[in-house]
Every structure is written in C-alpha cells, then in structure tokens.
Amino acid sequence: MKYQSQHVAYAYFACAMALFAIQVLGGLTIGWIYVQPNFLAESFPFHIIRMIHTNALIVWLLLGFFGAAYFMIPEESEREIWSVKLAYIQLALMMIATLGAVGGYLFGIHGGREFLEQPLWAKFGILVAALIFLLNISMTVLAGRKTAITGVLLMGLWLLSLLWVFAFINPVNLSLDKLYWWFVVHLWVEATWELVMAAILAFLLLKLTGVDREVIEKWLYVIVATALFTGILGTGHHYYWIGLPGYWQWIGTIFGTLEIVPFFLMMSFAFIMVWKGRRNHPNKAALLWALGSATIAFFGAGVWGVLHNMHGVNFYSHGTQITAAHGHLAFYGAYVAMNLAIITYAMPLLRGREPYNQVLNMGSFWLMTGGMAFMTFTLTFAGVIQTHMQRVLGNYFMDVQDELGLFYVMRFTAGVAVVLGALLFIYAIFVVRRHEVVAPGSANPASMKPEPIPGE
C-alpha cells in the first residue's frame, strides 16, 4: 500500500460489514415472516424490520463506496487524502445518523416514505457527511493526478450526493411526491451508482489484469455515456401508473429497455480485460467477485429489469414478486458484489498481508450467489403465478398469498444460504489464517507484498 491515509478505508469497510450483517439477518427475519405472518407481529412488526433491512442495505453500500473512494483516490491521484480527520468525522456522522434512525424506527418514529424513512435530522446528518466527503475527495483530486477513474468516480459521487436533496422534498400531491421520490431511488441505483460501480470495476481490472490504462479508460467512457443516456430517461418506466402524462409509457419502455446496454458492456468489459490481461494476480478471490458482480448485474439489473419494465407487461407485473426478484438480484450483483470485490482486494493491503482466506472467500461468493440465484428464480415463479391469479383472474390478494406459501418457504431457504455466505465472507476478511491457501501462478506473477511508503 502506497499511502498511509488509505488506512481510512479500513474503518469504513469495518462499519459497512457490521451493517451488512444486520441487513442480511433482517432480510432473513422478513423471509420467515412471509412463512409465519404472525412472527414478531406485536413486538417487532414487519414494516419496521423491512425499514431496517432496506436502510441498512443503502447505508452499508454507501459506506463501501466511500471507503472504496478513500482507498482508490490516493493511488489514482498519487497523493495522500486531503484531510484524514474529516474522513473520520464523516464516518462518525454517518454512523450516528444511521443508528439514530434505526433507534427511531424501533419506537415508530419515521418519515413513512419507502427507502427515505429517515427522520429529518438524520437526513441532514447524512447530507452534511456527504458534503464533507465531496470536499475531501475533490480537494485530493484537484491537487493530484487526474485520471478517467477518478473523474467518473467523482461524477457518480457528486451526482448521488446532489440527488439526495430531493429526499427533503415531500409534496402533498401524491404524483409529485412519487416523481421526486424516483429522482432519488431510480437515479441513484440506475444512473449515478452505475458510474461508481464502473469506476471501481475499472480500478480493480487495472490492478488485477495489468491491461493498459488507456484501453480500460476507453471502455469506461463508453459505459458511462450509455449509463447516463439510458438511466436518466429510463426513469420513465416508473412513471406509468403515478398520474404522469401517457407519453412516459413510450419513453420509459424504450429507454428502460436500453438500460440493459451499460450492464452488458460492463460484463463484456470485465471478461475482455481478463482475457487480454498479462498479469497472474495472486488475489483470485477479488477477481472472482469483480467478474461475478459484472455478470450478475447484467442478469439482475439488465435481463430481469427488461423482463417487466415495458408498460404492456408492467401493467400486470408491477408490485408483484417479480419486482422483488429483480430488485434482489440487481442490488446483489451490481452493488453488493462490487463492494465485496473492492473490500476483498483492499483488505490484504490495508492489513499488510498477502491475500488470505481465499478458499473461504470464494466459497462465500458461491454460497451467496447460489442462494440469491435460487431466491430470484423462486420469486420469479411466485410472481408469475401471483400476476395471473391476482391481476388476470381477479383473486383477492390474501387468497393469492396463501397459494404462494411453498415459494416463500423456498425463498427463506435461499435466504439462509445468503446469510451463511455473508457471515463466511466477514469471517474470511477479518480473521486471518497463518498461511495463504491459493498461490499465484507462474506466468507473469504480480506481487501483493506491501509497497514501501514514499519518504521512508
């Protein structure tokens, strides 16, 4: 590791992993409530657990992005972080706002807007933390070397922080409320977060494959252009049924369908770079997570998204378990797996060791990915049945839910696999074996030994 200030990333990754554990355990509890609806109904109702599950997901992914930025930007800019103290203050604000919001949820204090349930004071805390972060990384980049990776990363992080302002706008008119709500929810996960994902993927492939920076940057520019072009107008596929003009059905269908393009490009980019690469890097687990993230994102965000975002299909499938299938696989592939990829790459360097626990780490990949794939197929089949029975035949919602009981048992089983994989990953990252279990190959090996700090 070249720069001492990169150690800030360790604290961010540790907090992210703690919230990751809370998130998956909350999801498993929700899965059991689908099987046994009265479980914890009085003491810990479903909607509160769901708030904790979704909010923990969003915050730990953001912490992962912030940690990735603090790890990547010093190397890309070839200088130390502008202010390490501000980075720790930002982390403290994020954790105080998060834990305070969760404490409020337990007592029924929340805003009521899905994914944006945080109390007003917590929203302000997150905004202040975001502004501190933007100042810190922007000053670092401005004073150092400029690269395409830092440019794309900064663009994604600036845009997602600015879009957070719409979380404060809560009109009385329901159509306007949902319009601004999607500015945050959609333009985060289907536009700005894609830029962050692409930048992290480019950084990892640069380090893991040894492909020339110029080649990687050309791919990165194309991915960014398609992500913004399709993602911004693709927001229209959420506007079908909220009282907005009918032309959004055409705009949303066309550009929503095209949103598969940047994910296909990212998947192609990852595999072509590995194929062209000259480096046999010892951190095989990080490479597996990077390739896996790009592939699963293509299917989860791309294929499963296209399956039901055309207005003629969405008229029937909207709000069913098909939506849940798409959401789970998309988030896991695009953002969860990419965060775990950068953490897998960075942690050995942050701890001054060669890659460790790779067999366990790769085992956690297959356990989580297998569980999430099974969950996605299960929810998809359940959603198709639900769509037909509820939207076509006109059966009552609760009668249909009773018919889906077997699928919910299967979904819970898949959730157990995901939780076990997540806990195995956390163990593999933080508990170090004495000896490495995967040795680098003989062709063009890349050392993972800590690099000397300049000036020492």
For residues 39 and 46, give the distance between their C-alpha atoms in angstroms, rounded to a whole number.
9
Q: Residue 437 — very low, low, confident or very high, per pLDDT cuts 50/70/90?
A: low
- pLDDT of 383 above 80: yes
**Sign of the torsion formed by the C-alpha atoms of 276, 281, 284 and 287:** negative
Q: Check residue 424 and report its DSSP letter.
A: H
Q: Indicate the SS3 state at residue 445.
A: strand
pLDDT digits (tens, 9 = 90+) for 22-35: 999 999 999 999 99
Q: Backbone phi, then psi, for 108, in 5-degree steps? A: 80, 15
Rg of the chain's alpha carbons, rounded to an integer? 22
Q: Residue 433 — very low, low, confident or very high, per pLDDT cuts 50/70/90?
A: confident
Q: Residue 355 — very low, low, confident or very high, per pLDDT cuts 50/70/90?
A: confident
More confident residue, 440 or 231: 231
- pLDDT of 441 above 60: no
Determine the average pLDDT of the residues in 85-98.
95
pLDDT at position 235 is 93
Q: Residue 445 — very low, low, confident or very high, per pLDDT cuts 50/70/90?
A: very low
Vertex 155 angle, CA 151 and 158, to 5°: 135
- pLDDT of 434 above 70: no
- pLDDT of 456 above 50: no
For residues 176 and 243, give the distance between their C-alpha atoms in angstroms, rounded to a whole number.
9
Q: Indicate the SS3 state at residue 170.
A: coil
- pLDDT of 40 above 70: yes
